[in-house]
Amino acid sequence: MSNPLKSTIVLAAALFVSAAVDASAETAHIFWKDLRPATQSAAENVGLPMIAAKLPDHGETLSLNLQDRSIQLAGYALPVDRDGDLVYQFLLVPWTGACSHMPTPPPNQIVLVTPARPYKMSEAYQPVAVTGALKPDMEKSQLFVLDGVSVIQSGYTVRKADVAAVDSVPDTITLPVNSPWSFLNKKKN
């Protein structure tokens, strides 16, 4: 290989790495609170998940300041479209049990995620970090649960998302011990 060709390949590789670093620097690491209006509290009572029925706008007020921005958000994946352990689409929710075992969070606390590649998931409510362009977009999904079908409305979508397993979700809600759903609190031993 000639020296000019080698130099061109090395320069192209360096530019590619530099572009990848710049792209990741532009990714906003957000939390669930960033998806709702600042005036909307996280929960009716401390330690209890926020549910749409108790909110004046039913949680349909979305944050538009993140529209089309590259974001990274950690949450729990609840499969919507799967084949075995490969998931083609899932709901990202802020706490375990949301949507299937307990009241549904408001739409501004649910993200419909379509991974860039099918994501291999070992269990529902697996903690993941999703990276991609956030679009405020009310969308309904059918979720098949043990006792039938639920229609869940999400307030945001991330398509062609990069999905990675994480050990924990930094801003998750831990249910109080006296909650009938406290068995859903995930703890690592």
- For 89, other C-beta atoms within 10 Å of its C-beta total 18
- pTM for the structure as a whole: 0.76
> Confidence class of residue 13 from pLDDT cuts 50, 70 and 90?
very low
Task: Look up residue 45 and give its two tokens.
Answer: 């009572």
State what percent of residues in the chain have pLDDT above 70: 67
Pick the more confident residue, 144 or 30: 30
For residue 8, what pLDDT is reported? Answer: 41
Coil, helix or strand for 75? strand
d(CA 115, CA 105): 22
The model's pLDDT over 100-150, given as tens digits with 9 standing for 90+, comes to 666 788 899 999 999 999 999 988 889 999 999 999 989 998 877 666 678
For residue 156, what pLDDT is reported? Answer: 96
For residue 15, what pLDDT is reported? Answer: 41
For residue 151, what pLDDT is reported? Answer: 86
Coil, helix or strand for 152? strand
What mean pLDDT is predicted for residues 49-65? 75
The model's pLDDT over 76-114, given as tens digits with 9 standing for 90+, comes to 999 999 999 999 999 999 888 777 666 788 899 999 999
- For 115, other C-beta atoms within 10 Å of its C-beta total 23
H/E stretch holding 13:
helix 3-25
- For 175, other C-beta atoms within 10 Å of its C-beta total 20
The model's pLDDT over 159-173, given as tens digits with 9 standing for 90+, comes to 999 999 999 998 876
d(CA 107, CA 155): 4
Please work out, in degrees rounded to the nearest 5, the angle formed at the alpha carbon of residue 63 by the alpha carbons of 20 and 57.
155
Give the CA-trace dihedral at 89, 95, 97, 98, to 10 degrees.
-70
Residue type at 123 in one-letter notation:
E
Q: Closest Cα to residue 156, out of 66, 79, 85? A: 66
Q: What's the chain's average pLDDT?
A: 77
